[in-house]
Amino acid sequence: MQMRHWMWLSLLLVVAGVALIIWRVEVYGYPLLPGAEDETWTVQARVRIDPEEGPVKLTLKLPDKTPGLARLREDFISRGFGLDVQDKPDQRSATWSIRRSGSSSTLYYRAQFYRDPENQAFAPVPAYPDVPRLDEPFATAMRSVTDRARQKSADIASFATAIIAEINASAPSEEISLFLNSPEYTGKKTEVAQTLLAAARIPSLQINGLLLVESERQSELTPWLAVHNEQQWLFFDPVTGDEMLPDNLLVWWLGDTPAVTARGAEITSLQWSVRRNLVTSLELAERRADEHDSGLAALSLKQLPLQAQSVYATLLLVPLGALVLVLMRNFIGLRAFGTFMPVLIALAFRETGLLAGLVLFGLVIAVGLILRMYLERLRLLLVPRLAAMVTIVVMLMLLISLFSAALEWEVGLSIGLFPMVILAMVIERMTIVWEERGPGDAMIESAGSAVITVLAYLVMGLDVVRHLVFVFPESLLVVLGLTIACGRYSGYRLTELIRFRELSISQ
Amino acid sequence: MMNPISRYRDLRRAGVLGLNARNACYIMTRNQRRLYPLVDDKIQCKRMLQQRGIAVPVLLDSIRGQYEAGHLDKRLQQLDKFAIKPASGSGGDGIIVIVARRNQRWISAGGSAYSLDDIQFHVSGILNGMYSLGGQPDAAMFETLIEPAEVLKSIAPFGVPDIRVIVYRGIPVMAMMRVPTRMSGGRANLHQGAIGVGVDLVSGVTHAGVMQNHVVELHPDSGASINDFSIPDWPDLLAMAARCQQAIPLGYLGVDIVLDERHGPQVLELNARPGLAIQIANQCGLRKRLQRVDALGEPESMSLEERLACVAKIT
């Protein structure tokens, strides 16, 4: 039973860690690999008004639901105006109001969107429209167009396509021309289509959208047509009649009402613009998690102050280095000075780079060893001797830094980040091993330490690894699980295969 | 070039015990942690063994505090043959063996001369934990010098040989003799170059030894054969080793025994984490023997005679 216990614990930790990672990747889109980027789109409506006497009230329709897109954030910039956002299910809008406004002012609405294929919400299911009551000759024209379209169609989708095709024909029929040339419908093909669809009691909505395309100049609104076929919304290009919805069409508002209405002021201009931004997937995922206010998902190192972040970015690597150490010691069987010395040295190497780190480290150790041999003659007690070694190591580091500064060798300066106490202990331990067990053992342990240090450095330096532990601190659960599993390994070490070679029985 | 996988299987088939398995399956499960200090502190261990009537080298003196080290000259006045040891040392580190005194200088087994200052410095190093596990403050002990039995001279002409017996759950399972060489500086430490000589557990007769992982049949210093040497009083030695487990109930225990010319067999020290080189010296894996002991049921509850009777069964 006890044997099973560790297995379950280890498995549980690994599964929990992996599950948390997968959850955050799948639901919030945290990037598994470093450097991934996502697109976001910033759309902006800019309204200039010239106020008249008295209070001003201005209402702007706001984008709400667009299939395939989701809103990350929105901002309102309107100095001096009171703001009220109405979240009605069919139409969001913002109302700015001010009691007295002297000069003309500019109001901005800005929102950021990202692609989200999961999000397919659109407007609520509408009621069946009444057949429009039109005067003659429009009523007759409407009837004949719908009759013709009905004959050419099988269902609501093909009916809508037929209607739109007829409206957009290069040589429109007499009936369509009648509509398009009447003052009421001039230039409003979408409304003609809606009227004709209503004649067949088919619910439809006019979409006023913005195509999310990077453009230097201001963007134009794109009208689109949504038709409900009693089960779902179908989207039609009002010009070609194709049933489709561009994946970059942002639905700003619905219906044929204007986007902005103002009372007590004259709207002098209304401009739309679209800008494309690249953000790292990490940033996007974090903002998304933040928006959804999900405690665990939003649990991120990015919430820490910048300085603490960089501390943890390093600290989180230590367990991985320790795992490398466990593998090297218990599976390979390498010997090293001190238990965690190689990991700490490897951390210090991150600042200097591997080669320069090894050279500097070797230099300090070599000079330190010589001085330690001299200290041996002074017969100092253990703790004062260690304190003296720390002092000597610090002075050596300073000397090397000064020397590198004079030579303008910048890497040499970063030796100041070496863990000096560890260095002093390495020198002490090396001396004792050297004297007690001989130079051979000292060399073996040095080589073992060096190999573990280099491997730990390489593993801790992998971009993927650093990204993973930083973005998914829960990966430490996996590391812990693996470490526990390693702790129960009772097989031979690689070096023992050589050590006990005389004992092997070959068949 | 060896194939690691087939080598791994071969070692497994041979029942070789690896370090990981020793730690996980035997030391951690059979050795209670609270007993470690009893063996790690040799002064305490000596006391426990004496209480059980097991012969040990006499403790001449011990020093625990730095202030005592100051009066070392008075304490050492009467002594000219002794060994200085850290009470919690491991692997033979920090041991100085003094064999004679000339004027105010003590001569070590290796031939170096030590002044009082030198000895004082060594003692304070010991007290400061230089040789103890984790640098814990330690005690220095002065032990009577062991005079190896004359009969051993033919196999071990140099230094003090000792006999390591692995006692598992009260039953001796494997033994070797550790023969010092000039290379090991007179120490019975295998990694310093002493010869590990396999000993037949039932008869106490040696067979080929291993030095620095190479099989040797002759002592490198004297050229004398190390095979077929019959260790005197072997049954007593085995009984002594088995009784140590009763004094300190560690399930997996290494017992180091020396044969003194005047005092006979004495237990030098106990080891809660005995090394695995004994397998190489005996050309035999430990694991199968340990498993046979486990198959006996509850060997701890057997009498000494019953346990010694089991030795022949498990080898």
Residues 409-468 of A with CB under 8 A from B: 432, 436-438, 441
Q: Are A503 and B21 within 8 A, CB to CB?
A: no
Question: B3, B8, B9, B11: which to substitute to probe chain A, counting the most A Cβ within 10 Å?
Answer: B11
pLDDT given at position A507: 46
pLDDT given at position A479: 95
Q: Contacts of residue B184 in chain A, CB cutoff 8 Å? A: none
* CA neighbor of A316 nearest in space, from A168, A444, A475, A458: A475
Strand partners, A75: A110
Q: Are B128 and A382 within 8 A, CB to CB?
A: yes
In A246-315, the DSSP E strands lie at 249-254, 260-263, 265-280
In chain A, pLDDT over 70 holds for what percent of residues?
96
Q: Contacts of residue A501 in chain B, CB cutoff 8 Å? A: 2, 7
Residues B161-169, mean pLDDT to the nearest whole number: 94
Q: Are A432 and B24 within 8 A, CB to CB?
A: no
Predicted confidence (pLDDT) at residue A297 exceeds the cutoff of 70: no
When pLDDT is cut at 50, 70 and 90, the band that residue A1 belongs to is: very low
Tell me if chain B has a CB within 8 Å of the CB of A378: no
**Biggest CA-to-CA distance, chain A:** 120
Choose the closest CB to A493 out of B18, B128, B210: B18
Tell me if chain A has a CB within 8 Å of the CB of B11: yes
Tell me the C-alpha to C-alpha distance, in Å, between residue A226 and each of A69, A161, A243, A247, B237.
17, 12, 9, 14, 99
pLDDT given at position A3: 60
Residues A374-381, mean pLDDT to the nearest whole number: 80
pLDDT tens digits, one per residue of B106-137: 898 778 899 888 888 889 888 888 787 666 78
Return the H-helix or E-strand segment holding A14.
helix A2-28
Q: Which residue has the higher pLDDT, B46 or A208?
A: B46
Q: Are B11 and A496 within 8 A, CB to CB?
A: yes
Predicted confidence (pLDDT) at residue B1 exceeds the cutoff of 60: no
pLDDT tens digits, one per residue of A441-452: 888 889 999 999
In A11-78, the DSSP E strands lie at 37-51, 56-62, 69-77
Tell me if chain A has a CB within 8 Å of the CB of B71: no
* Least confident interval from A86-95, A192-201, A282-291: A282-291
Q: Are A500 and B121 within 8 A, CB to CB?
A: no
Tell me the C-alpha to C-alpha distance, in Å, between residue A187 and each of A62, A179, A235, B26.
24, 10, 20, 91
User: CA of B51 to nearest chain A CA: how many angstroms apart?
Assistant: 33
Any residues with CB less than 8 A from the CB of B310 and at least 6 apart, and which?
A: B171, B293, B296, B299, B302
- Give this complex's ipTM: 0.80
Whole-number Å distance between alpha carbons of B17 and A371: 42
For domain B59-144, give the CATH number: 3.30.1490
Residue B137 burial by CB count (10 A; 0-12/13-18/19+): exposed, middle or buried?
middle
Tell me if chain B has a CB within 8 Å of the CB of A395: no
Q: What is the mean pLDDT of chain A?
A: 83
Q: Which residue in this structure is represented by tokens 């019959």?
A: B230
* CA neighbor of B36 nearest in space, from B282, B302, B312, B252: B252
Tell me if chain B has a CB within 8 Å of the CB of A492: yes
pLDDT given at position B102: 86
When pLDDT is cut at 50, 70 and 90, the band that residue B143 belongs to is: very high
Choose the closest CB to B283 out of A330, A496, A502: A502
CA within 13 Å, CB half, A83: 14
Choose the closest CB to B18 out of A381, A383, A496: A496
**For A409, which DSSP code?**
-
Q: Is the pTM of this model over 0.80?
A: no
Whole-number Å distance between alpha carbons of B12 and A475: 35
Cβ atoms within 10 Å, residue A4: 8
Tell me if chain B has a CB within 8 Å of the CB of A501: yes
Q: Are B279 and A496 within 8 A, CB to CB?
A: no
* Least confident interval from A305-319, A359-373, B32-46: A305-319
Q: Are A330 and B20 within 8 A, CB to CB?
A: yes
Question: B1, B3, B7: which to substitute to probe chain A, counting the most A Cβ within 10 Å?
Answer: B7
Whole-number Å distance between alpha carbons of B129 and A232: 81
Q: What is the mean pLDDT of chain B?
A: 88
Q: Contacts of residue B215 in chain A, CB cutoff 8 Å? A: 502
Top mean pLDDT of A34-38, A320-324, A503-507 is at: A320-324
Q: Are B192 and A499 within 8 A, CB to CB?
A: no
pLDDT given at position B124: 85
> Residue A366 corresponds to which tokens in the numbers above?
């070599």
CB A476 within 8 A of CB A322: no
CA within 13 Å, CB half, B109: 21
When pLDDT is cut at 50, 70 and 90, the band that residue A295 belongs to is: low
The residues spanned by each domain of chain A are 309-498
The residues spanned by each domain of chain B are 4-54+148-314, 59-144
Q: Both ends of chain B: CA-CA distance in Å?
A: 33
User: CA of A380 to nearest chain B CA: how many angstroms apart?
Assistant: 8
Residues B201-213, mean pLDDT to the nearest whole number: 88
Choose the closest CB to A491 out of B18, B117, B215: B18
Tell me if chain B has a CB within 8 Å of the CB of A500: yes
Choose the closest CB to B10 out of A493, A494, A505: A505
Residues A219-237, mean pLDDT to the nearest whole number: 83
Q: Are A497 and B7 within 8 A, CB to CB?
A: yes
Tell me if chain A has a CB within 8 Å of the CB of B103: no
DSSP H helices, A43-188, are 138-151, 156-167, 174-181
Tell me if chain B has a CB within 8 Å of the CB of A495: no
Whole-number Å distance between alpha carbons of A169 and A163: 10
**For B43, which DSSP code?**
H
Reported residue count of chain B is: 315
b/e B210-233 (16+ beta carbons within 10 angstroms → b): bbbeeebeebbbbeeebeebebee
Cβ atoms within 10 Å, residue A355: 10
Residue of B nearest to A429 (CA): B130
> Residue B40 corresponds to which tokens in the numbers above?
């790690």
Residue of B nearest to A494 (CA): B4
Three-state secondary structure call for residue A456: helix
Any residues with CB less than 8 A from the CB of B229 and at least 6 apart, and which?
A: B154, B155, B197, B205, B206
- Given 1.10.1740.10, 3.40.920.10, 3.30.470.20, 3.30.300.100, which CATH number is that of B4-54+148-314? 3.30.470.20
When pLDDT is cut at 50, 70 and 90, the band that residue A4 belongs to is: confident
pLDDT tens digits, one per residue of A167-223: 887 777 777 777 777 777 777 777 778 887 887 788 888 888 888 887 667 778 888
CB A380 within 8 A of CB B121: no
Q: Contacts of residue A437 in chain B, CB cutoff 8 Å? A: 191-192
Residue of A nearest to B3 (CA): A497
